[in-house]
């Protein structure tokens, strides 16, 4: 069976590997942007995770005339009116480190009794015609006052997941994938895979 090429709208090799694992055993070949010689740079645009994922997927799909997949994710804190939200990766500045983002988050949370937060991930698949399918996953948690755990990345050491009694930074990769926002979105996509294949071939 020939494989359907799906371009990941990212140059991140780790993310490419993540998507390859998702589609393992299915007739799909994931290609990253690094595998294409020329593609224009693009700015992430949109006011929601879903909009940003859609815009990235559409841009790459149209530029390469191939189906494309993109994701966008981040942390929304209730007491901060949903911040850092779509700016999660650059909360403390465009080139901010995880540590700088976390320090800003803790500063903003000083004196806040409500520590509720939610991780959100949206995945979009686009055809060159601009048609789109989207999948979203959400995971609720609580922001701690101090970091706990050494795994994961980003806000994981501060994000406490009550059902397991651990922060995301205390979970193994397998545990995190079972409950995380990205894991949920990916499972929904995978459950829909036959529909997606038919849709891509139309």
Please tell me the predicted confidence (pLDDT) of residue 1. Answer: 59
Q: DSSP string covering the chain, please?
A: -PPEEEEES---HHHHHHHHHHTTTSSEEEEEGGGSS---------SSHHHHHHHHHHHHHHHHTS-EEEEEEEEEEGGGTT-BGGGGGGTT-TT--HHHHHHHHHHHTTT-S--EEEEEEEEEEE-TT--EEEEEEEEEEEE-SS---SSS-TTGGGEEEGGGTEEGGGS-HHHHHHHSHHHHHHHHHHHTHHHHHHHHH-
Query: Does the predicted TM-score (pTM) go above 0.85?
Result: yes
Please tell me the predicted confidence (pLDDT) of residue 12. Answer: 80
Could you tell me the pLDDT band of residue 56, with boundaries at 50, 70 and 90? very high
Could you tell me the pLDDT band of residue 2, with boundaries at 50, 70 and 90? confident
pLDDT tens digit sequence for 120-179: 999 999 999 999 999 999 999 999 999 999 988 899 999 999 999 999 999 988 898 889
Give 12 or 108, the one with higher predicted confidence: 108
What whole-number distance in Å separates Cα of residue 163 and Cα of residue 91?
Answer: 28
Report which of 45, 181, 47 is spatially closest to residue 57, judged by C-alpha positions: 45
Average pLDDT, the chain: 92
Judge whether 122 and 136 are in contact, CB under 8 Å.
Answer: yes
Please tell me the predicted confidence (pLDDT) of residue 113. Answer: 96
Please tell me the predicted confidence (pLDDT) of residue 13. Answer: 81
Please tell me the predicted confidence (pLDDT) of residue 100. Answer: 97
Could you tell me the pLDDT band of residue 51, with boundaries at 50, 70 and 90? very high
- Does 54 have pLDDT greater than 80? yes
Give 64 or 26, the one with higher predicted confidence: 64
Could you tell me the pLDDT band of residue 3, with boundaries at 50, 70 and 90? confident
Judge whether 138 and 130 are in contact, CB under 8 Å.
Answer: no
- Does 101 have pLDDT greater than 90? yes
Domains and CATH numbers, the chain: 4-201 (3.90.950.10)
Report, as residue numbers or ranges, the catalytic residues. 72
Please tell me the predicted confidence (pLDDT) of residue 74. Answer: 96
């Amino acid at each position: 069976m020939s494989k359907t090429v799906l371009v990941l709208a990212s140059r991140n090799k780790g993310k490419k590997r993540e998507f390859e694992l998702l589609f393992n055993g299915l007739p799909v070949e994931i290609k990253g942007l690094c595998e294409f010689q020329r593609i224009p740079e693009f700015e992430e645009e949109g006011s929601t995770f879903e909009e940003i994922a859609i815009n990235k997927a559409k841009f790459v799909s149209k530029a390469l005339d191939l189906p494309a997949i993109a994701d966008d994710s981040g942390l929304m804190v209730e007491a901060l009116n949903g911040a850092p939200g779509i700016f999660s990766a650059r909360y403390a500045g465009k080139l901010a480190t995880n540590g700088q983002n976390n320090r800003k988050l803790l500063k903003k949370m000083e004196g806040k009794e409500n520590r509720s937060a939610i991780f959100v991930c949206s995945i979009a698949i686009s055809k060159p015609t601009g048609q789109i399918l989207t999948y979203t996953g959400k995971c609720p948690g609580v922001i701690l006052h101090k970091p706990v755990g050494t795994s994961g990345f980003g806000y994981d050491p501060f994000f406490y997941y009550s059902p397991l009694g651990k922060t995301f930074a205390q979970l193994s990769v397998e545990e995190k994938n079972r409950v995380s926002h990205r894991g949920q979105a990916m499972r929904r996509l995978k459950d829909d895979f036959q529909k997606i294949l038919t849709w891509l071939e139309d």
